[in-house]
Amino acid sequence: MSIQLPPLFQSRMQGWLGGEYEAFVASYERPRHVGIRVNTLKIDREAFEAISPFVLKPIPWCETGFYVDESERPGKHPYYHAGLYYIQEPSAMEPAEALRPEPGDRVLDLCAAPGGKSTQIAAKLQGEGVLVTNDISMERTKALAKNIEMNGVRNAVVLNETPERISEKFPAYFDKILIDAPCSGEGMFRKDPDAIRQWEKHSVEVCTVMQRDILDTVASMLAPGGRIVYSTCTFAPEENEAMIALFLARHPEFVVGELPHSPLFAPGRPEWTAGLLESGGGLSPLLHEAAPDGEPLVLSRPEALAQTARAARIWPHLAEGEGHFVCVLEHTGEKAARPTGAAGSAPGPVIGAGEELPAADVGGRTGGPKGKGRQEGRGAGLPRREDKSARPARGRGKDAYVREEASEGDVRRACLEFLAAQLTAPLYGTLLISGDYAYACPVEPSRLRGLKVRRSGFQLGMVKSNGRFVPSNALAAALHPTESARVLNLSSALPEAVSYLKGETLTFDEERIQRADGVEAKGYVLVTIDGYSVGWGKWAAGVLKNEYPAGWRWNG
């Protein structure tokens, strides 16, 4: 066997799996499975199948998931940059499927980076409701925010917080919560050799403490009648069935919900936890935490551990995917009706594109409908501020400079004028100004105060020191071509698409710029590939200045 599994791990698995053990071990000799999931915020499954550059094999437990050959390099196709699909390990698609989010739900993805499950949830919400996506690692939230934006998600907030801090701001708020818990990673041994090294440092014991605390905290954030999905990528019963039984003992208002099993999934194994308790074994002291009567807490509700048989285990020798555990936890309280128009159910428009700008929002100036010759970004009525970008910074030497943030009113005016000039459909959410940046926020902004926020919502853009509004690539990636006043469509079959994705300046005749009636060709252009939005360019006199962000560019 090319992968050297830890001896203790082999001994445990052999004892539990018995006659299945040889088939289990043999799975480590097979190559890993690569999957992609169609992003239905941009394209439906059938349309993607019609244009797919890859040979597709359906993933049985995810309607929008497909196996692909890794040699086809799905990350090196323009459609990946257009957000038409997300590259995701096949088993990892099951937790969001089990969560069953629906349009209008308020959803929390607590341990979300790099964002695969969050983008899957967002696709199911279809722009309606709220997605709060979080990761405790600041570094990992960079990839999380990028994937949310590349996939065209409009109704997400990205946080970098602890569960405890989030619970203070969102008590009993969410309808659905996904906990893809930090775990010992036994199910990833074939995919990630580093997981083996971490396991040998007794990470099962470390992880169970985090898992218990996360579950306890999350319970306070779930609305009555809501659903939690708890998942790990490990086989250890201490982190799976035992954690669920411990949670049920501490929170009797929950039960394990039914999880429609794929025929390729195995049920939970409560008897493994019971066996560890009988033998006094296990890698976690929490397994032996006692109730007041001295009995192990995981057994203090006789039916609690038995319920974990309703969970699902995904085994690499039974299904084409890595190891996973998935369990649904249902709150038994009655779901309350949400008032019409409450935040997260029916947000109001930021601005109706093509309408007059409200005088209250633009400092006394109203703007007429967009039309030929209208100035973008600053707008004719936006006063030019003094350029303070070259003001020497105190105490930093003569060559040091600082730039002061724009006022909130400047950013608001510039944003609204750009949206009115550039878009042909309204955006929804609360217009929230944070520094130089403008967002369409899907939650009450007061809930975000005091939290470490990576994205306050759908980032619309920022105001530069010269007063001009620069739209974000997140805005471009989320737009349908019909929502933009100017569109330039590139072909994936020609070098022009990759040239754009590499950040190169391109030349195009005016005739290539598709535009709404009365709109001149010069200005910001939504760039699409085969009709699917990718980013911005600024066209003038036959030259397209490339606005595709450096951190997103094609590097192959």
Question: Active-site positions?
Answer: 233
The verdict on whether omega for the bond into residue 114 sits within 30 degrees of 0, i.e. cis, is yes
**Bridge partners of residue 179, in order along the sequence:** 230
Contacts of 47 (CB under 8 A, 6+ apart): none
**Residues near 133 by beta carbon (within 8 Å), at least 6 away in sequence:** 108, 109, 112, 115, 118, 144, 148, 156, 157, 158, 159
370 in Cβ contact with 485 (< 8 Å)? yes
Structure tokens at 277: 């308790």
Cβ atoms of 246 and 290 closer than 8 Å: no
The whole-angstrom separation of Cα 423 and Cα 378 is: 16
**Contact between residue 416 and residue 357 where contact means Cβ atoms under 8 Å apart:** yes
Which residue is associated with the tokens 């605390």? Answer: 213
**Cβ-contact 85, 37 below 8 angstroms:** yes
Residue 176's nearest CA partner among 278, 100, 272, 82 is 100
* Backbone angles phi and psi of 400, in degrees to 5: -95, 140
At CA 311, angle to CA 309 and CA 315, rounded to 5?
Answer: 100
Question: CA 98 to CA 103: how far, in whole Å?
Answer: 15
Q: In whole angstroms, how far apart are CA 234 and each of 93, 221, 273, 324, 468?
A: 15, 25, 14, 6, 50
- How far apart CA 315 and CA 323 sit, in angstroms, is 5
What is the 3-class SS of 398-439, one letter each residue? CCCEECCCCCHHHHHHHHHHHHHHHECCCEECEEEEECCEEE
Alpha helices by DSSP H, listed for 200-269, are 203-219, 241-250
Q: How many CB atoms lie within 10 A of CB 290?
A: 10
Across the strands, what pairs with 131? Answer: 107, 156
What does 98-158 look like in DSSP terms, one character per residue? HH---TT-EEEESS-TT-HHHHHHHHHHTT-SEEEEE-S-HHHHHHHHHHHHHTT--SEEE
Tokens 């620069």, residue located: 470
Identify the CA nearest to 142 among candidates 506, 382, 454, 376.
454
Burial of 413 (0-12, 13-18, 19+ CB in 10 A): buried
